[in-house]
Amino acid sequence: MKLRSGTVLRFKLEHGFGYGYCRLVDRTVPGCPATLLIQVYSIHGPDDLDLEEVTASEYLLNPIEIRNYPNTKGRGCWHPMAVMPSLRDRVMPVFKHRPLLSIPVLADECELPVWRADLGNRLSRPLDYRRVAHLEQRILVYQDEVIRRATMELIKVGGKRIDDYYDVSKLDKVRETFVRSINVPFHKDIPARYRGRVIPVAHLDSFEGIPFRSKAANPKQALNSRFMPW
């Protein structure tokens, strides 16, 4: 079954966090590869949460681009609940674009000298990292990676350490998801006017350091000498 844009789905989280809920936004243009975004809600728990309660909750993190339509049949499938389209779905969020294609061990993105904004059909000129630090990288992920990332965000929100639940010492998909997670602030701490948008240069002076970052959301101590190769 091909899912419609705006479909609300339920999926099983990892590490006993119950079920997560999300919306699928299909921004595919005819004649072009599929452009599918997943917006995960902050609410989680049993598998019978009321639809109105789910859709009334805030989002847990920035939109994530997924490779394929979520699987709705068989083991590990996601369960469609309803179709809830929104006029806001017409606006493509801005992503951040890193200068290198493969940096799986990088603990802090700000160490890279050049960042750009991914505007969907083009890249911006090089920008100050602080202007895009709060944005998600435009990386195509699979269904299981969305589940892992959502679980990691809930661990952070709960004030716990991700590396108490996941082994982040290996250079694998788990670590890549972890590094992306700690390089993005809590979604709830990003003002609505900056979500999915590049911060204007004139606004940077009002922020100390990297905007919206906190030690709780970005626990660099988790990447200590036990994990780092240098």
| pLDDT tens figures, 175-196 | 889 988 988 999 999 999 999 9
What does the pLDDT look like over 29-86, one tens digit per residue?
877 778 999 999 999 999 999 999 999 999 999 999 999 999 999 988 999 999 998 9
Q: For the whole model, what pTM was predicted?
A: 0.90
C-beta separation of 166 from 180 below 8 A: no
Amino acid residing at 155? I
Q: Could you count the other beta carbons within 10 Å of the beta carbon of residue 137?
A: 19
**How many helices and strands in the chain, by DSSP H and E?**
3, 7
| Whole-number pLDDT of residue 101 | 53
Dihedral of alpha carbons 115, 197, 102, 106, sign: positive
How far is residue 109's CA from residue 180's CA, in Å, rounded to a whole number?
Answer: 9
Mean pLDDT of 95-100: 83
| Whole-number pLDDT of residue 90 | 87
Mean pLDDT of 87-116: 78
What does the pLDDT look like over 202-217, one tens digit per residue?
999 999 889 998 877 7
| Whole-number pLDDT of residue 216 | 75
Of the pLDDT bands very low, low, confident and very high (cuts 50, 70, 90), residue 114 is confident
